[in-house]
Amino acid sequence: MNKKILRAASLLLLLILCFSTVPGTAESKEPIPIPVISEDEIKPTPAGIHHYMMICIDQWGFDYHLLGSHTDGMILVTVDEYSQRIMLTSFIRDLLIQRFDGKYGRINNIFYYYQTDKLGLKRGTEDSARQGIEELVRTINTHFDLDIEKYIVVDFTQVQAIVDAIGGVDIYVSTREAKRMRSFGIPISGGAICHLSGYEAVIYMRMRKTAYEWVDENGEKHIEQQDEGRTHRTRNVLAAIAEKLADINEDEMWDVVDIVMRHTILTNITNSDLLEIVRLAGIVQGVPLEQLRLPIDKTYWQNTVAKMATEEILDWDANRQALHDFLFDQDFFVR
């Protein structure tokens, strides 16, 4: 074969591989079919595993009549009482999903979209808001083969109150992040571990335009842009909260639970569930938090769908497998 043709073919193959595995900006293209799982096919949660979906509404001071609300913070908290693990799985807000009407949409729009009167509910009420949240949880379950039942919904005001109630959190803030935070009137220098109040922690976790940089256990540097960085910072705040709770006793734990529940917008967690949560907290207290972001690297790209900027997963099997490998310790479970 002619060497020039061979080089051209090799370059073409390289480009195909790169653009099919690495996120990048693309013009509008018909999305690939999403292999949604029916609720009857979802695998049951293994014994000893407990899922709690934490959802943050994108606003300060929640009002059921604010119709433009989006769920920009979505983190699954999973506790494994047998292997004594706590895992945080965050979902990027612009993830492309398939709604139950068969149409495509962004995952953070599900809450708003399903606050309809299809069940005779008036939009802007607690019942309609609960309906939207439950549809969001169903969407996550059917897209990732999970059986999440319990959820808790807060907004930025509630997050601020919870952080302030435990006396603030200690988080490493880079000089670039500090510069962005100073634009919000926060006097911070950065480049060190900083003690953040509730308001400061919310501003930190909401940053999207400043890249998030971190180094893994192998010494490899990672740079996460936009919502990738935002979800990582949100997990950092939760991890910092968990660290502050590592040494408290059972009475203090109940005080924290009371604070959380008093600053909750919506939840289906019952009093018996609270007893279970406190029991689990005693088992895993002080355990380091493990983290995962979905979609995983090199399995999605940016695609404009229905005039919306979305992150489209190209390999759903890889993401489901990565999630299940992360959540379900194979030394304990055979699925």
Count of domains for the chain: 2
Instruction: Please give the pLDDT value at position 145.
Output: 97
Is the domain of 64 the same as that of 133? yes
Neighbours of 243 (CB within 10 A): 16
Is the domain of 131 the same as that of 187? no
What's phi and psi for 80, nearest 5 deg? Answer: -110, 105
Q: Residues near 188 by Cβ (< 8 Å), separated by ≥ 6?
A: 173, 178, 181, 182, 194, 200
Is the domain of 75 the same as that of 16? yes
Is the domain of 10 the same as that of 111? yes
Task: Let me know if residue 144 belongs to a domain.
Answer: yes
Task: Let me know if residue 188 belongs to a domain.
Answer: yes
- What is the per-residue burial (b if ≥16 Cβ within 10 Å, else e) of 289-302? bbbbbbbbeebbbe
Task: Let me know if residue 333 belongs to a domain.
Answer: no
Is the domain of 77 the same as that of 205? no
3-state secondary structure at position 290? strand
Number of separate helices (H) and strands (E) present in the chain: 10, 14
Is the domain of 271 the same as that of 149? yes
> Which pTM does this prediction carry?
0.80
With pLDDT > 90 as the criterion, what percentage of the chain qualifies? 40
Neighbours of 247 (CB within 10 A): 9
3-state secondary structure at position 185? coil
Distance separating alpha carbons of residues 119 and 128, to the nearest angstrom: 9
Nearest to 203 by CA among 215, 214, 187: 187
Instruction: Please give the pLDDT value at position 120.
Output: 56
Q: Give the full edge-to-edge strand order of the sheet including 266-267.
A: 266-267, 150-155, 49-57, 71-80, 85-91, 289-294
Task: Let me know if residue 334 belongs to a domain.
Answer: no
CATH code for position 272: 3.30.420.590
Domain that holds residue 206: 167-244
The two structure tokens encoding residue 250: 């059972």
What's phi and psi for 247, nearest 5 deg? Answer: -110, 10
The two structure tokens encoding residue 262: 């008093």
CB 126 within 8 A of CB 265: no
Is the domain of 9 the same as that of 119? yes
Beta strands in the chain (DSSP E): 49-57, 71-80, 85-91, 96-98, 104-106, 150-155, 169-173, 192-196, 212-215, 221-224, 266-267, 289-294, 300-305, 308-313
The one-letter amino acid code at 330 reads: Q
Let me know how long the chain is: 335
The one-letter amino acid code at 7 reads: R
Is the domain of 321 the same as that of 225? no
* pLDDT mean by block of 10 residues, the chain; 335 residues: 47 40 58 94 95 84 58 90 93 92 90 68 74 93 97 85 88 92 91 93 88 75 76 84 78 78 85 89 86 91 88 96 89 43
Is the domain of 191 the same as that of 307? no
Instruction: Please give the pLDDT value at position 8.
Output: 47
The one-letter amino acid code at 119 reads: L
CATH code for position 232: 3.40.630
Q: How far is CA 199 from the centre of its chain?
A: 20
Instruction: Please give the pLDDT value at position 11.
Output: 43
Distance separating alpha carbons of residues 316 and 36, to the nearest angstrom: 9
The two structure tokens encoding residue 106: 């962004």
The two structure tokens encoding residue 150: 């319990």
CB burial class (10 A; 0-12, 13-18, 19+) of residue 268?
A: middle
